[in-house]
Structure 1
Amino acid sequence: MNEISIQIPENFEVDEAAKFREEVNVMIGKGEKHFVLNFNNCSFIDSTGLGVLVGIYKKCMELEGSFKLNSINPKVMKIFELTRLDKVFEIKK
Structure 2
Amino acid sequence: MNEITIDMPAMFSVEEASAFRDTVKTYISSGQTSFVLDFKNCTFIDSTGLGVIVSLYKKCAENGGTIRLRSLHPNVYKIFELTRLTNVFEII
The two structures have a TM-score, normalised by structure 1, of 0.97
Q: What corresponds to 1:61 in structure 2?
A: 61
| Unmatched runs of 5 consecutive residues or more in structure 2 | none
Q: Offset of 1:33 from its aligned partner?
A: 0.4
Residue matched to 1:11: 11
SS at match of 1:76: helix
Distance of 1:81 and 1:48 partners within structure 2: 16
Unaligned 5+ segments in structure 1 are none
Question: What RMSD in Å do the two structures reach over aligned CA positions?
Answer: 0.6
Cα distance in 2, alignment partners of residues 15 and 25 from structure 1? 17
Q: How many residues align?
A: 92
How do residues 8-87 of structure 1 correspond to structure 2 at under 5 angstroms? 8-87=8-87
- Find the residue that maps to 1:80 and give its secondary structure: helix
Alpha-carbon distance in structure 2 between the residues aligned to 1:53 and 1:66: 11
Give the deviation of 1:15 after TM superposition.
1.5
Q: Distance in 2 between matches of 1:34 and 1:75?
A: 25
Q: Which amino acid aligns with 2:4?
A: I
Moved over 2 A (4+): none
Secondary structure at the aligned position of 1:27 is classed as helix
TM-score by length of 2: 0.98
| 2:90 match | 90
Percent of paired sites with the same residue: 58
